[in-house]
Structure 1
Amino acid sequence: MPSFSLATLGGAPPLTLPSMRPLAVGLGGSALFGFALRTAVSHEGLSVTHLSWAFALPAVSVLSWALCLPALYILWATRHPNVGASHCVLAARDAFHTLGLCLASTTPILWFFAATAPGSQISSVLAFLFTSLALFSSVHAFVQALQHQGASLSGFPRLAFFCLHTITFAQCAHGAGLSLS
């Protein structure tokens, strides 16, 4: 007797859920950086505020993607009809993964300068630089993920999306009380 599976019935491929690992890495990396960021900015020991920053930075990151991605998709769908919303969401997941990796990898450096130069402003400058570079890297990862799916986002639209995402991230961070001063 032949065996049947859901994949062979109807000729559709089996349903697979996307991996949650990139999302977990993005959340964990940005939470770790948020905790270290509070240490670098406040120059104080462990407090409840550190935990609030550890929760706020991933929330700000997710919120900025949630606000920017529909705007990009609406404007972009007219130019690239073969790219659906699921392509954009998967690319954003990869970008968020890259953001978390970038932020987590710079956390030891931030902690080092916060511990060795507590009165200096170098920690705030480094935090701003690391966050800016991580945002740039995440948008670049987003564009690369879309290119792997057969779409392109180059030139002015890429720059405009990077600016939109960065401004949205900064506004959300300011609204959440994440300040480097």
Structure 2
Amino acid sequence: MKSIVPIETSFSSIEQERKILLDQLASRIYKENRVNENTGLVFIDSNNKTKSQLAAIWLKTGLIKYELGGYNIQSAGIKVANEPLHALATLKQHGFKVSNASDKKLYSYTINFGSDSWNEYYKDLSSLRNLEKSLKVFVEDNLEMGDDPMQVYVPLDSPETIAKEMLYVASRIDYLTQSQKQKEL
């Protein structure tokens, strides 16, 4: 966890307008999970190659840091790329261990962070189960969004920015969780 502390100290560099959008995302994720613990969260980009994968990984990491369970976070693409996930190499500098997974999925990776691990691989949006119950976060421009109330648009940029912003979202979810616990006391 020490390796993500420098990222957390950079939260002040997030512009205020952007923080408002990220706070809204955190609030929506928290509320959807509180109303229905089976609600999933899917980050969506065009090919499930970089932005959606990194957003899911960094939000999972932040939730692990704050010891917040019960969130089902995935990533998916409109079309699947099926090529190496080069963006995962950026995770190594932050203490992650990334290796090829032993299952039979092409370009499947095991991500280890501290004592937690999970597999990441390309997922096509149409292959996800219970998608109608999932909050869908579109992270790229020019993606076709319908009028589903379970869809939001939060554009993401570079791998470094994604890390900082998703850790920020996790910190806000933690704040909302702690505030609710205080109210219940």
Where on the TM-score scale, by shorter chain, does this alignment land: which range?
Answer: under 0.3
- Structure with greater helix percent: 1
Max Rg structure: 1
* Structure richer in strand, relative to its length: 2
Structure 1 length normalisation: TM-score?
A: 0.26
TM-score, scaled relative to structure 2: 0.25
